[in-house]
């Protein structure tokens, strides 16, 4: 499900942190997966001998997942990260389940509740705000 939707992410493959879409309620909620492997380039230096997915990249994965709920052709920039909490490390071999739900819209801003879990255990959660520009919008 959703390989066409994944291709809408503006990120190159080397910076895409969403591998698959499991569930989608367009404009409302999405559930995606990120498979963390020892081959991920960022794990080579974070940390040698004890690789961990950096928290900032976990937030990026949650933001990319939220971005899948935007209208086709829209672009977005990360505007705010609120109440980010990291509950457990994410390591090679983990499959991260990422959930994003649209909470509010105000003008060009979209607020999302996001969660990342591994084997049913919460790894991270936050509220993310994206600044969205729709196709043809010259005000953003």
DSSP per-residue letters across 54-74: -HHHHHHHHHHHHHTTSPTT-
- Note the pLDDT of residue 62: 98
28-65 tens-digit pLDDT: 999 999 999 999 988 888 888 999 999 999 999 999 99
Domain boundary assignment for the chain: 3-133
**Cis-peptide into 47, omega within 30 deg:** yes
Rounded to the nearest 10°, the torsion over CA 80, 90, 41, 98 is -50
- Note the pLDDT of residue 137: 65
Number of H helices, E strands in the chain: 2, 6
**111 phi/psi in degrees, rounded to 5:** -110, 135
Q: The whole model's pTM is what?
A: 0.93
* Given 46, 92, 125, 134, the catalytic residue: 46
Question: Is 11 a known active-site residue?
Answer: no
In this predicted structure, the answer to whether residue 132 has a pLDDT above a threshold of 80 is yes
Find the helix or strand (DSSP H, E) in which 134 lies: none
Collapsed DSSP state (helix, strand, coil) of residue 109: strand
Q: 3-133 adopts what CATH topology?
A: Thiol Ester Dehydrase; Chain A (3.10.129)
For residue 107, name the pLDDT band (cuts at 50, 70, 90): very high
For residue 77, name the pLDDT band (cuts at 50, 70, 90): very high
Cβ pair 24, 1 in contact under 8 A: yes
In this predicted structure, the answer to whether residue 138 has a pLDDT above a threshold of 70 is no
In this predicted structure, the answer to whether residue 1 has a pLDDT above a threshold of 90 is no
């Amino acid at each position: 499900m959703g390989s066409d939707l994944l291709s809408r992410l503006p990120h190159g493959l080397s910076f895409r942190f969403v591998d698959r879409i499991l569930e989608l309620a367009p404009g409302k909620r999405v559930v995606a997966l990120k498979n963390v492997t020892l081959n991920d380039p960022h794990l080579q230096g974070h940390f040698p001998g004890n690789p961990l997915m950096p928290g900032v990249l976990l937030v990026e994965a949650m933001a990319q997942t939220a971005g899948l709920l935007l209208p086709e052709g829209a672009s977005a920039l990360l505007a705010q990260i609120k109440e980010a909490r990291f509950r457990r490390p994410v390591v090679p071999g983990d499959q991260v389940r990422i959930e994003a739900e649209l909470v509010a819209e105000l003008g060009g801003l979209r607020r999302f509740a996001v969660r990342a879990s591994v084997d049913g255990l919460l790894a991270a959660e936050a509220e993310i705000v994206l600044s969205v520009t729709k196709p043809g919008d010259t005000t953003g």
